[in-house]
Amino acid sequence: MTLLKRLTSVLVMALAINAVAFTLQAQERTGPLRIEITEGVIEPLPFAVPDFVAENRAANDMARQIAEVVASDLSGTGLFRRIGSDAFISNITSFDSPVQYADWRAINAQALITGSVNVTAGGRVTVKFRLFDVFAGSEMGGGLQLGGTTTSWRRLAHKVADTVYSRITGEGPYFDSRVVFVSETGPKSDRRKRLAIMDYDGANPQFLTDSSSLVLAPRFSPTGDRILYTSYESGFPRIFVMNVGNVSRRALDDQQGAMSFAPRFGPDGNTVVYSLSTGGNTDIYKLNLQSGERTRLTSAPSIETAPSFSPDGRQIVFESDRSGTQQLYTMPANGGEPRRISFGTGRYGTPVWSPRGDMIAFTKQNQGRFHIGVMRTDGSEERLLTASFLDEGPSWSPNGRVIMFMRETSGAGGAPALYSVDVSGRNLRRVNTNTAASDPSWSPLLP
Amino acid sequence: MKHLSKAVLVVAALTLAACTDPSRLGGGYGGAGANGAAGGLNDPSNPISPAYFQQTIGDRVLFAVDQSTLSDGARATLAGQAGWLAENPEYDALIEGHADEQGTREYNLALGARRANAVQEYLISRGVAPNRLSVVSFGKERPIEVCSNESCYERNRRAVTVISAGGLGS
């Protein structure tokens, strides 16, 4: 625990000072197993996850599947490299047997993850696991036991991987999370859109709405229990709030003749910021869900939209074209004089404050290309992470390390898909979805 | 089949005539023109038909990139729309604002609202009663042209005036 604490504080400090590049302590390391954040070249850390040991017959399949998901989570970060089981010298046949470190050193496994699975007749699943620092010849952190059900086994696997990831990187966990997004089908001129939700890795997709109404840009509440989104079910864009558990929904605000969109929760889960268009002018408003009280935060003839709270709830970042083009501004959460923070060439939109509070992700449009980028909250240290015909709408992972966004291809057959990228700009990956997909919103870590 | 469903839509619109719900409207999104039985409300040669409005008067105006100002040509089209609406007081109009795909979703919704409003204001300035007009923005959600270059974009940056039977309390 002290080791973990020490690593965490060191790494968080390093991040706070300057994001971000990973380098790995390679084989000749002298300290404990860790991934250290420095300016350097990435060399993924080799690890081994043998199939977990099935403690009873009912656990046979799950013991293998859980190890697969753990390996997939870790490899998917780009920070870890899985060593295939065909290279293994040792096998893990008992969770409590001593580890033959020499056998794992011989195949250069820096980290070894072992586990066991028990499944009761009633569908209860118990997973135990251990993490070993192979070259130090010791266990890293204590073993852990997790309980769940056969229907939630993937979450147990994600929790195992989250623990391993956090212990080695010192970063917060993020695998045990979900993503709400817009599933898209049909031709570009008549796209059908449905809200859908899935695990962060694309597993367990479910629809939340049918395709009868156009829906846009869902956003998770800070506890993951509700979703804000924009729907045309009345014929006009209006904001709805949906309860994720029972899929019930209600319109947020009912102002005749107005169009509302671009909602986001504040960190208290009771405040919503959004845009309202009346008479052709779009401004930002704040709504208290409990009291229904609405406060106007901007009053300008320009477009003010895409507001996003800072995690401490004290500021709001938004986009405005008051200068003539779309740019990013911050203002106090109760309104007040906005301060422009984007000054590069091109147009900036869809700002999202990171859950760490230290950075703002955005969409940038410049010379016919779109980028996902990040900057400090004062606009300094802008870095572009991606580039394509159309990259748009970043959403932060719960630990503020990864950004998911949509990438749309051009032309008549063009369609959007979800991608993720490390905040360092590395590890660009497509996220598996059954249909074309847009507007991802990453949940907080599940409870 | 397509023609039939369009005709059914317009008939339904005439029957229901909801005040503000644009889903009642035939020809929404400014897609293909409506055609129907000769002499009916879908007959483009019938000057009191929405089809005539759509095809002969001209139901849409186009905008420059990231702009919502009306060109001289757009004003001429809208003057024609205002004249038709004056002669056909039983109809209401919904103005749809649209943007091309070069822009972020929220901004394009706001931009479409600006464009629809520019048309609404112009029609009002030409004598159309404000309570006959409503506006909606679709941002970049409903392109009519699907290629990814300016020849398509210029036709997607549009405001479309969609006619429907109204007058029942709007």
Q: What does the DSSP assignment read for A232-295?
A: -TTSS-EEEEEETTT--EEES---TT-EEEEEEE-TTSSEEEEEEEETTEEEEEEEETTT--EE
Q: Do A189 and B145 touch (CB under 8 A)?
A: yes
Cα distance between residue A339 and residue A377, in whole Å: 11
Residues A294 and A427 both lie in one domain: yes
The Cα–Cα gap between A39 and A19 comes to: 9
> Looking at residues A264-283, what average pLDDT do you find?
97
Task: Please state the rounded mean pLDDT for residues B46-73.
Answer: 95
How high does pLDDT run on average in chain A?
A: 91
Q: Is B107 helix (H, G, I), strand (E, B) or coil?
A: helix
Joined tokens for residue A118? 């028990």
Check whether residue A143 and residue A283 sit in a common domain. Answer: no
Question: Considering the domain boundaries, does residue A266 fall inside one?
Answer: yes
Q: Which residues of A touch B111 (CB under 8 A)?
A: 303
Which domain CATH number covers A33? 3.40.50.10070
- Partners of B31 on chain A (C-beta within 8 Å) are 189
Whole-angstrom distance, CA of residue A68 vs CA of residue A61: 11
- The total number of residues shown for chain B amounts to 170
- Single residue among A169, A199, A224 that ends a domain in this structure: A169
**A44 compared with B12, residue with greater pLDDT:** A44
Specify whether A231 is located in the same domain as A354. yes
* CB nearest to A234's CB, from B21, B143, B148: B21
Q: Are A95 and A220 in a shared domain?
A: no
E strands, A55-142, are: 80-82, 111-119, 124-133, 138-139
Asked if residue A351 and residue A281 are part of one domain, the reply reads yes
H/E element, A228: strand A226-231
The full DSSP string for A305-320 is: EEEEE-TTSSEEEEEE
A199 with A318, same domain: the answer is yes
User: Which CATH number do you get for residue B106?
Assistant: 3.30.1330.60
CB-nearest partner of A412 from B102, B105, B147: B147
Which residue out of A282, A298, A342, A407 would a mutagenesis test of the B interface target, given it has the greatest number of B Cβ atoms within 10 Å? A282
Is residue A447, in this structure, part of any structural domain at all?
Answer: no
According to the model, what pLDDT value does residue A30 have? 56
Whether B61 is in a domain gets the answer yes
C-alpha A180/C-alpha A205 separation (Å) is: 9
DSSP string, A52-69: PEESSGGGHHHHHHHHHH
Residue A418 maps to which CATH number? 2.120.10.30
CA distance B122 to A217: 32
**Residues A319, A357 share a domain:** yes
Nearest chain B residue (CA) to A438 = B105
Final residue belonging to a domain, choices A141, A169, A197: A169
For residue B98, what are the β-bridge partners?
A: B139
Contacts of A257 in chain B (CB under 8 A): 20, 134
Q: Is the peptide bond before A20 cis (omega within 30 degrees of 0)?
A: yes
Minimum CA–CA partner of B30 in chain A:
A189
Cβ(A350)–Cβ(A391) under 8 Å?
no
| pLDDT bucket at B4, cuts 50 / 70 / 90 | very low
What total number of domains does chain B contain? 1
Structural domain includes residue B37: yes
Would strands B60-62 and B158-165 be described as parallel, antiparallel, or unpaired? antiparallel
Shortest Cα–Cα distance, A123 to chain B (Å): 44
The confidence band for A264, taking pLDDT boundaries of 50, 70 and 90, is very high
A16 and A38 fall within a common domain: yes
Q: Which helix (H) or strand (E) holds A358?
A: none
Query: Which residues, including other chains, have CB under 8 Å from residue A406's CB and lie 6 or more apart?
Result: A391, A392, A393, A416, A417, A418, A419, A437, A438, A439, A440
DSSP 3-state assignment of A204?
coil
Residues A305 and A363: beta-carbon distance below 8 Å: no
> Do A159 and A83 belong to one domain?
yes
Question: Residue A12 is part of which domain span?
Answer: 2-169
Residues A163 and A193 in one domain: no
Sheet hosting strand A259-265, strand order edge to edge: A259-265, A271-278, A281-288, A294-296
Domain end: A100, A134, A169, which one?
A169
Question: Phi/psi of residue A201, each to 5°?
Answer: -95, 10
Cross-chain residue pair A257–B106, CB shorter than 8 Å: no
Residue A363 has pLDDT above 50, yes or no: yes
B170 within some domain: no
At A166, list the tokens: 């956090």
- Chain A nearest-CA distance from B84, in A, is 23
* Number of residues written out for chain A: 447
Q: Which residue of B has its CA nearest to A307?
A: B106
Q: Stretch A140-164: mean pLDDT, rounded? A: 96
Tokens of A255: 């102002």
- pLDDT at residue A148 is higher than 70: yes
Residue of B nearest to A415 (CA): B146
Among A190, A234, A259, beta carbon nearest to B113: A259
Q: Within 13 Å of residue B102, how many CA atoms lie on the same side as its CB?
A: 20
Q: Give how many domains chain A has, as a whole number.
A: 2
Q: Are strands A429-430 and A315-320 parallel, antiparallel or unpaired?
A: unpaired
Q: B interface toward A at CB cutoff 8 Å?
A: 20-23, 31, 66, 68, 101-107, 109-111, 113-114, 116-118, 120-121, 134-138, 141-148
> What pLDDT was estimated at residue A29?
54
Tell me whether residue A339 is in a domain: yes
- Print the domain residue range for B155: 2-165
Q: Identify the H or E element spanning A404.
A: strand A402-408
In terms of average pLDDT, the best of B19-33, B35-49, B129-143 is B129-143
Q: Which helix (H) or strand (E) segment is B68 a member of?
A: none
Quick one: pLDDT at residue B29?
63
Q: pLDDT by residue (tens digit) across A113-134?
A: 999 999 999 999 999 999 999 9
